[in-house]
Structure formats: structure tokens, C-alpha cells
A and B are shown apart, each in its own frame.
Chain A
Amino acid sequence: MARAVNQPVMSKAKKKSLMKRSIPIYIMALPGLLYLFINNYMPMPGIVLAFKNYNAKKGIYGSPWAGFKNFKYLFATSDAFIITRNTICYNLVFILVNTFFAIFVAIILSELTSKWKKAYQSVILLPYLLSAVIISYLVFAFLSPENGFINNSILKPLGREAVSWYQKQEYWPFILVFVNLWKGIGYSCIIYLSTIIGFDRGYYEAAAIDGATKWQQITHITLPLLRPTIIMLTLMAVGRIFYSDFGLFYQVPQNSGALLPVTNTIDTYVYRGLLELGDISMSAAAGVYQSMVGFVLVLGANLLVRKLDPDSALF
């Protein structure tokens, strides 16, 4: 029966039986497609909101047009620059730092013979399963100005003055990079580790016979073999550089106003515009800016990936 599909000309009876077979399959697909329609496709035309003066009574489509006014306002403020800079710069640093440490840990894990290997892997993956709210509590336990571990148990014994962590901008780029690494390293490490495990052990055995040290094996075998994976994953991450982890930038700094210049990203800006400031048009404009540039970046990254390695491309 399956062969019938491949035949260029189908008889009427075969067409009929194919339809009969397909109907149950369409029924199976329906609930999922309906969900995507409601959750993803229905909001899509709503991006016109960015070109309108939103009036809640008239709805998205009834509100009067505003042309590019919302965008003009958005880019006239310093916010547009700050949120773009923060989103892109944090993501770039995240990619660099996480990739470096993930490969470092993955190589060590792949070479270890100890029975603890599995336990290490499990433990470093655990933070990945925690919600942003829980993570903000954990960070708070260390950084709380009154009760925090750092102020009370490290700075005090050293005779240093307590720091109001949630008011001081200068520390947060480091804190956020660290928290992001802490949360994400287990995840990226697993991907690299599974790639390394797939390598042909013959290379390593041959190198060992030739007297190569561990370090030489890593730099001359593992890393070169890992290169395509590193490039692919990095490109994929670069494609998502316009999107930020909302929980990380909103929850972990506890929405502290004093920290906004270093914690505000496009996602947190859109959220605040919509639900805290009620500036829906501006928020929508920032959202469209993100969707459009994000779309172009994903397409571009994928185009590059497809040139380098068609099998890894998303499409």
C-alpha cells in the first residue's frame, strides 16, 4: 500500500483508499495543529499592533493606524540602544563562556575512568531543572543585603563593609554570566560529551602508541574532531541572539529598578511595557523589532549552517 504513493499516476480506487487511510491520521494531527493555531498563529497578525495606536475598546484591528510612530518613539529613547546592547552582548558572552566551560568539562568527563563520572554529570545537570524563581531565591541567599551569605559570612569576617548587591550595577554583568553558566553548563556539556563519545577510539589508541600525552591527544584529536559541532552549536546560538532568557534577567535581579541599565533586555522591556507601564504600543513595537530581526538572524544562521553541513541545518 505504501508503494502506491510513489506511483505517479494513481487509479481512482487507490486514491480513494489513500484518502480512507489518511483521514484517521488527519484526525490525530488535528488537536496539536489546533493548539498551534491558537497559541502561535492567531497572535501573529497581531504584530500590526506595533503600527497602531492601541485602544483596548476597539481591539487590535479596530485601533487607528499610527504608521511608524511607535518605532520612532522607541528608537528616540535611550532604551532601544540599551536593550539591544544588553541582549546581544550578554548572549555573546554567554555563548563564549558556556561553550568554553562545556567543552572543558565534557573533555574531562570523557577521559575520566572513575566510577564517579556518572555522578558528576548528574550533579552538574541539576541546576538546569530549577525554575527561575527558585534560582532567584538561591541567589538571594547569597546576595541579600541583610541576611546574605556573602555580606555576613565573607565580607564581615574580612572586616569589609556590606554591599547592597541589588543596588549596584557594576557587579551584575558578572553575576548574570555566572548564574547563566551555573544553570546551563550541564546541558551544553551533555551535547558535547555525547559527540566526543561517538569518536573512533582508534585514533586515541594509535596516538598513545606513538607516545602522545593526554594533552596532545586532546589538542590534536578531540578538539579538531569537535570543531564542526562547536561551529554548528555556536551558529545556532547566534541565530537566537536577539532573544533572552526572561527569567534570568527579570527574576534573578528581582526586578530591581537600580539595575535596569545592566539587566534590561528586549524581553524584559516588552514585558514591562505591557504589564507594568501599560505602554502597549511601545511594547508591541519592541516585540516586532525582536521578531523581525530574530527571524532574519535565524534564517541567516541556518543558511550558513546549511553551507557548512547540510545535515545539521534546521531546514
Chain B
Amino acid sequence: MNNKNIRSERRFQIFGNIVMIIISLCAVIPLILMVISSFTDNDALIRDGYSFTPHKWSVYAYTYIFSSGNSVPHAYMISIVLTLVGTAVGLTITTLLAYALSRRFLPGRGVLTFIVFFTMLFNGGLVPTYINYTTVFGIKNTFLALLVPSLMLNAFNVLMMKSYFVTGIPDEIMEAAYIDGANEFQAFFRVALPLAKPIVATIALFIGIGYWNDWMNGYIYLTKRTDLYSVQNLLNRMIQNIQALTQNASTVSQATQGLATIPSVSVRMAMAVVGVLPIVIVYPFIQNNFVKGITLGGVKG
């Protein structure tokens, strides 16, 4: 390498770091504003707006949220139960189906794979799906409405996992298990599953985040049972109430009156913080698996 190259390399490193710092800041600045706002005194917020440098700090928003008689802890429980149950069931049926599709000797394997794959190409759309779930299965206003529609299993995850089973687990190891007298279930649980841990973790993550973040199922199917609202649904309803009040109020005083009855500006942001918190907490531990999953599925996605 000559001097010119070393100089160009050094210039590039400086430039690259600066650009990446700017982009990284852009990524987190909205989250920082949200956190700071949630710790800002409500009156200061109303006077100065959401700001990075509040004049007065306060934890009132959080004491309000977790005070008794508030709907937030309840919604939180719903979100947690939903995510745990949904991930457990979804992961189980996804893994079993993916493993089945990976067994080369299985008669009808091609047809079954196509049945799974076709759902990626064509779907009935929202209207028939909604009518199917509400009239045939009657899940409107039940916990099942949060759990079942669209989130549990999707073809993308199944096919990604299937290709991992096909390429990542050598036939010889499976054959050895059969020779040792294992039946199909034993071969799956004792040999294939432990070897597939990385992909199982990744898919669990995809499903889990899908459940934690979902607001559509509750929004569409929970028309009366607001006691079943997840954190996302609660957040969603709150912002809608504000919207409705400011748009429909005929006078300013009417709007102010209405706004006084729903959680104040700082509480709103505190709730959003509480909604994001679990993801931010687990993120450092899951991100490697998550990145792996994106890389595996990416080029095909």
C-alpha cells in the first residue's frame, strides 16, 4: 500500500464513522424524545411541547399508569399472556410442520409444500377472512380473536425452517438415530430439534415480536370487550380518542374539557415507553438471532 492509499483509507474511516453516527442518532432520537417526554412535568409539556430539554422533570406519568384502577397493568398482563401463549403454540405447529415437510421419504411431500407455499402467493383478503372468523368461528370479542387470526403460523416461517432442517441436519445423523431404534417422534425430539436450536430461536422471536406488536386483531375483532385490550390496543384507542375530540369539538373550550378527561400528554408518552420497554430490554439478547433470521430469509423474502 502506498501513502495515497493509506490516506484515502483513513479519510474513509472518518467519513464512515461520522455518517454512521448521524444515522444511528436518527434511529434513536425519536425514542429518546419519547422517554424524556414521559419524565417531563405535564404543565411544562403543555407550555413548551415535547422537548429534549424539559424545564421540569416528573415521574407522575408512571405513578399514574401503575396506580390502582388503571387499565394499563391489566392490558400489560393480556399482552404478556398473549405473547407467551401465541409464541408457544405458533412455534410448536410451525416447527412440526416444517420438520414434516423436510422428510424426503414422505409421500405427498411436494403437494403439502405447495399447499403451504400457495398461501404466500394468494389470499382471500381482509373481508372474507373477517367474515370467516366472525360467522363460522364466532371469535369476535373473545381472547381467541387476539390469538388466532394471521399471527400464529405463516408460510414464510415454515419454509425457512424447512430449508434449515433439510440443509442443516445431515441425513447420516438421522439414519443413525433410526438404526439405534428411535421412532419418528424420538428422532425429531432427540436429534433434529436440538440441532435446529438456532432457527427455532429465530422463529420464536419473529412470532413473539409479531404478537407483542400486533394491534390489528384487537382493533378489528374486539368491538365490545375492551377489557381484553392489549397494550397496543390501549395505546391505539387513546390516540384515537384524542383525534376524535380535537376534530369533532365545536369549540375550543369543549376540546380542552374533553382532553382533560383523558390521560395527559406525558402519560401518553409514558404508556408508549411501557409498550416498547420489553422489546428494548430483550433486544440485546435477541438481536444476533434476529439478524441471522433476516439473513436467512432475506434473499428469499
Residues on A facing B (Cβ under 8 Å) = 1-2, 4-5, 18-19, 21-22, 24-26, 28-29, 31-33, 35-36, 38-47, 49, 59-60, 105, 108-109, 111-114, 116, 119-127, 129-134, 136-142, 144, 146-149, 151-153, 182, 185-187, 190-191, 194-195, 208-209, 211, 213-215, 229, 232-233, 236, 246-247, 251, 254-257, 267, 270-271, 273-275, 280, 283-284, 287-288, 290-291, 294-295, 298-299, 312, 314-315
Contacts and interface: CB of A to CB of B under 8 A. Distances in A.
Contacts of A267: 126
B123 A148 contact: no
B152 A39 contact: yes
B294 A42 contact: no
B125 A141 contact: no
B49 A151 contact: yes
9 contacts: A46-B124, A108-B16, A119-B24, A133-B215, A213-B5, A232-B299, A256-B243, A294-B122, A312-B299
Contacts of B155: 36
A236 B120 CA distance: 12
B111 to A, nearest CB: 11
Interface residues of B, number: 113
Contacts of A112: 13, 16-17, 20
Contacts of A233: 298-299
Among A124, A133, A236, the one with the most B-chain Cβ atoms within 10 Å of its Cβ is A133
Given A33-B115, A182-B27, A256-B243, 15 more contacts: A31-B93, A43-B128, A46-B128, A46-B129, A108-B19, A126-B27, A132-B213, A141-B34, A148-B49, A149-B51, A191-B295, A251-B236, A271-B126, A288-B125, A312-B300
A129 B209 contact: yes
B164 interface: no
Interface of B: 1-2, 4-5, 8-9, 11-13, 16-17, 19-21, 23-24, 26-28, 30-31, 33-34, 37, 45-46, 48-52, 92-94, 96-101, 103-107, 112, 115-117, 119-132, 135-137, 148-150, 152-153, 155, 158, 171, 175, 178, 183-185, 188, 209, 212-216, 220, 232, 235-236, 239-240, 243, 247, 265, 268-269, 272, 275-276, 279-280, 283-284, 287, 290-291, 294-295, 298-301
Q: Is the interface of B mostly helix, strand, loop or mixed?
A: helix
Contact of A29 (B96, B149, B235, B298): B96
A273 B153 CA distance: 27
Contact of A22 (B92, B106, B126): B106
A215 B112 CA distance: 49
B125 to A, nearest CB: 3
B33 A149 contact: yes
Q: Which 6 A-B pairs have the closest CB atoms?
A: A46-B128, A152-B49, A32-B97, A287-B125, A43-B124, A131-B213
